[in-house]
Structure 1
Amino acid sequence: MTFDSSAPAGQAVASRWLLPCLCTGAFLVFAQTFMVAPLIPQLAMLFHSPVDWVGLAIPAYIVPEAIATLAIGPLSDRIGRNRVILGSLGTFIVLTALTATPCGVGAFIGWRIITGTAAAGIVPISLTLIGDVIPFTRRGKAVGYLFGSIAGGTATGAAVGALLEPLIGWRALFLIVAALSVLLFAIMVIARVLPRHARTATVPPWSAVMRGYARLLQLARAQRTYGYVLLNAILQSGLFTWLGVYLHGRFGLSETGIGLMLIGYGVPGMLFGPIIGKLADRYGRSIIVPSGVVLTGVCALSLAAPLPLNGVRIAIILLSLGFDLTHPQLAAIATDLGGGRGQAVALMAFALFSGYGVGSLLFQAALTLGFSNAFIIFGIAAGIGAAFAFRLFRNERPHHVGTAV
């Protein structure tokens, strides 16, 4: 990240901490989100509940988060990114700890709904803040770090959940996330990491907010960006959420084995996310985004085949690479759509989180046809989306960026 070299020493220190803290917050939020995924069979047994009912714990978290972003984004334009991020993180800490308390699936899902709503001000507003302080021509690398943390949190949450639950129990997992979030909160407050001025100079009235959303959705660039954020989130979430059940059913893997398989999902993002972002800054996103959708489809179709265990492991890693080629680049475009950046990113986050929730539900519905057919359906959908993407994103080249058309 590049900041003003003339800034006071204290602000310069805060600047060095900014991106690591934002990435850590994203990591923890998504670790908490998806550490439930491999525990679905175990939680169903503990709660004496059907697997399908426990499986709602992920969309129950993500869908309210998606809806809340529509208000949180404009709110950050009004009161500042720092207040929204810290307020959301503080609430997230309390509610994550309380998620460890229920004794039934209904209460568990209820806490997930409330916690997801609180988390809406962390990742989306972190992305908005990155858009505030980094020019678009250098933004890809920083966004790559953020989304690499998201992919890493997704994989680590699922893996650690599966590995540690037999040792310490599922309740302790939520308490650990809450404790780590307290540490992050303390660092952000004590070091004054977040810039106090990070809010827009002119704030539209709430009556103008909805008109702003409508204007954004009239832009062709916004339509294709949000559309593919939604599509790719559906594909990625649907495939990843149910991998634990798939691995248990097909290979008979224990929770430990499932965890070791799923941790591969975060490897490409943590290793290559910033590199991909830097390449996107230099050469544009016209090829990178469609290629990511293609790779997602190939992985889905590969999982439909009778692959050996190591083949499935490779497919999971490449599925994550498909995420890294698409979502960070689409998010960077969203920060460049014009208007209130908080609104533009809020719509992106709404599409992203809605897709995560809907994708889990759609794949669950497709499972009535069996895992192989569900993978094929998602693979075909990705292939169709990729075919259109090469044409729709053809203008996302360096000399076209910054134009909201």
Structure 2
Amino acid sequence: MSTQGTAAAPESRLLMIFALCAFLVGLDALVVGPLVPAIAVDLGMELELGGLLVTAYGLLYGLSAPLFGPVSDRWGRKNMMLLGMFVFAVGTALTAAATDLTTSLIYRGISGLGGAMLMPSVFALIGDTFSFEKRGKAMGLVMGAMIGSQIVGVPAGTFLAGLGSWRLSFLLIAGLGFLAMLVILAGIPKAPPTRAIPVGPVKAYQLQFKTAFSTPSVFYALLGTFLWTAGLQGMFAYVGVFYTVNFNLAIEKIGLVAMCAAAASMLGSTIGGRMSDKFGKKRVIGFAAVLSAVGVLTFALMTGNFWGAFVAQIVWAAFVGVGQATLTALSSELSPQVRGTVLALNSSALYIGLMTATAVSAAMLNNSMSFLAIGIMCALCSLAVMPLALFKIKVAEPEQAQQPVAAAK
């Protein structure tokens, strides 16, 4: 389905804007992990509680994202993107002014709320603008931008923290967010609201969950996204703590490690797309799930070997990239009757997985459990995605996927 306004704009330009939005939202969520040691010292909080900053972001994002898909149907995608980017930038700027754990959690929640307003409209516009044959590639590029935010952004954030303060990182992201508002304003044509579902946003919100839990493939796809993200973020949110506690690594060096891992993840995402075309998405996801589990478990075991931990993280990150892009593309190919709903709920499932895993990891560390215990949890989450992809998720036939999307975006 295409809207008249977006159809008039070049697809390449729109894709760049979508990728920019995903880059900033991904950066804001991912930069926290390596910065936790510096934030904890400055705010006077226990190191083990640092992951709650990710949890607060993910909680607001995950719970509210499905609501804003229907709102954008009625209010317009561009309007929702502008409001979302504004709230996102304000919340991120406020994070830089946090004085204690409580205020920082509130401000991270505001940032997550802004991301929840923004990204469902981005994913909906991909569905509005790109044909079925191009939609998977477009979705992969946007998700790649979110993952790729680590390559430039996370090292830059940790470098700024090393030079001055972790607060500079969030101020920089907030500034880029305000500039992105201008890009959205100038680059995305205004299109009329779609009003795809003739009910109010709250009712549409309820209908989305009813659809998810009554359509097996949708439910299993969302569960797969939840588990995949949990398998990543349960450990990733604490990589800064891992390297600080075990190797006393300076924050700038943690940033460099994160950059290398992100590069491996981006490479894995690119290779994964090609592998899925050749061998099939389900097989590639199963293959990536096993090797991601091996990678994160090996990483958790390397508490006394820095180079072993580094290599294990690179391998782990590469196969996370392979699986993430392929799983997202697979989810986008579900029945056309639920595709719009899945795109809204998939984003929600991702951040609920992020929130849940970081909260559980925080509780485990706070109760003196080891990184190995977290690694085992993450490995089990990754492995659980394999049977879901191979046996439970059914996709539409290509000719069916050409039909108009009836669900709300």
Q: TM-score range by the shorter chain?
A: 0.7 to 0.9
Distance 1:10 1:300 in 2: 43
Counterpart of 1:370? 370
Matched, 1:262 2:258: yes
Counterpart of 1:196? 191
Matched, 1:58 2:54: yes
Distance 2:157 2:204 in 1: 43
Counterpart of 2:182? 186
1:163 CA displacement: 1.9
- Alignment equivalent of 2:345, drawn from 340, 344, 347: 347
Counterpart of 1:30? 26
RMSD: 3.0
1:91 CA displacement: 2.0
Matched, 1:223 2:224: no
Counterpart of 1:386? 386
1:242 CA displacement: 0.8
Counterpart of 1:17? 13
Is the partner of 2:45 in helix, strand or coil? Answer: coil
Counterpart of 1:161? 157
1:212 CA displacement: 4.1
Distance 2:265 2:189 in 1: 24
Matched, 1:359 2:357: yes
Counterpart of 1:233? 229
CA 1:34/1:83 → structure 2, altered by over 3 Å: closer, same or farther? Answer: same
1:316 CA displacement: 2.1
Residue 383 of structure 1 aligns with an amino acid whose one-letter code is L
User: Which region of structure 1 is more displaced relative to structure 2, 384-393 or 357-366?
Assistant: 384-393
CA 1:348/1:9 → structure 2, altered by over 3 Å: closer, same or farther? Answer: closer
Counterpart of 1:318? 315
Is the partner of 2:8 in helix, strand or coil? Answer: helix
Counterpart of 1:82? 78
Q: Residues 125-165 of structure 1, C-alpha deviation per residue, up to 9 Å, x if partnerless? A: 21221122222332222111111111112454433222220
Distance 1:75 1:111 in 2: 23
CA 1:209/1:339 → structure 2, altered by over 3 Å: closer, same or farther? Answer: farther
Distance 2:390 2:31 in 1: 34
Distance 2:107 2:45 in 1: 17
Q: Residues 184-211 of structure 1, C-alpha deviation per residue, up to 9 Å, x if partnerless? A: 2212212x32562573555444435423
Distance 1:162 1:60 in 2: 21
Q: Residues 247-301 of structure 1, C-alpha deviation per residue, up to 9 Å, x if partnerless? A: 1112221101111111123214434535533554575422122222212201122
Counterpart of 2:306? 309
1:380 CA displacement: 3.6
User: Which region of structure 1 is more displaced relative to structure 2, 75-84 or 263-272?
Assistant: 263-272
- Alignment equivalent of 1:293, drawn from 283, 289, 296: 289
- For residues 137-176 of structure 1, the aligned pairs below 5 Å read 137-154=133-150, 156-176=152-172
1:303 CA displacement: 1.2
TM-score when scaled to structure 1? 0.87
User: Which region of structure 1 is more displaced relative to structure 2, 243-252 or 329-338?
Assistant: 329-338
User: Which region of structure 1 is more displaced relative to structure 2, 381-390 or 218-227?
Assistant: 381-390
Q: Is the 8 A contact 2:62 2:350 kept in 1?
A: yes
1:383 CA displacement: 2.9
Q: Residues 210-244 of structure 1, C-alpha deviation per residue, up to 9 Å, x if partnerless? A: 23431232112101101101111111111211111
- Alignment equivalent of 1:134, drawn from 130, 133, 143: 130
Q: Is the 8 A contact 2:335 2:396 kept in 1?
A: no
Distance 2:400 2:327 in 1: 12
Distance 2:277 2:135 in 1: 7
CA 1:228/1:388 → structure 2, altered by over 3 Å: closer, same or farther? Answer: closer
1:123 CA displacement: 2.4
- The count of residues paired between Structure 1 and Structure 2 equals 397
User: Which region of structure 1 is more displaced relative to structure 2, 68-77 or 152-161?
Assistant: 152-161
Q: Residues 324-381 of structure 1, C-alpha deviation per residue, up to 9 Å, x if partnerless? A: 2333333334444434654322211121100001111222333332112321332244
- Alignment equivalent of 2:92, drawn from 81, 92, 96: 96
Residue 221 of structure 1 aligns with an amino acid whose one-letter code is S
CA 1:185/1:281 → structure 2, altered by over 3 Å: closer, same or farther? Answer: farther
Matched, 1:177 2:189: no
Residue 79 of structure 1 aligns with an amino acid whose one-letter code is W
CA 1:174/1:160 → structure 2, altered by over 3 Å: closer, same or farther? Answer: same
Distance 2:207 2:383 in 1: 34
Residue 349 of structure 1 aligns with an amino acid whose one-letter code is S
Unaligned 5+ runs, structure 2: none
CA 1:401/1:380 → structure 2, altered by over 3 Å: closer, same or farther? Answer: farther
CA 1:380/1:54 → structure 2, altered by over 3 Å: closer, same or farther? Answer: closer
Q: Is the 8 A contact 1:284 1:396 kept in 2?
A: no
Distance 1:180 1:397 in 2: 39
User: Which region of structure 1 is more displaced relative to structure 2, 271-280 or 282-291?
Assistant: 271-280
Is the partner of 2:236 in helix, strand or coil? Answer: helix
Residue 357 of structure 2 aligns with an amino acid whose one-letter code is G
CA 1:286/1:194 → structure 2, altered by over 3 Å: closer, same or farther? Answer: farther
Unaligned 5+ runs, structure 1: none
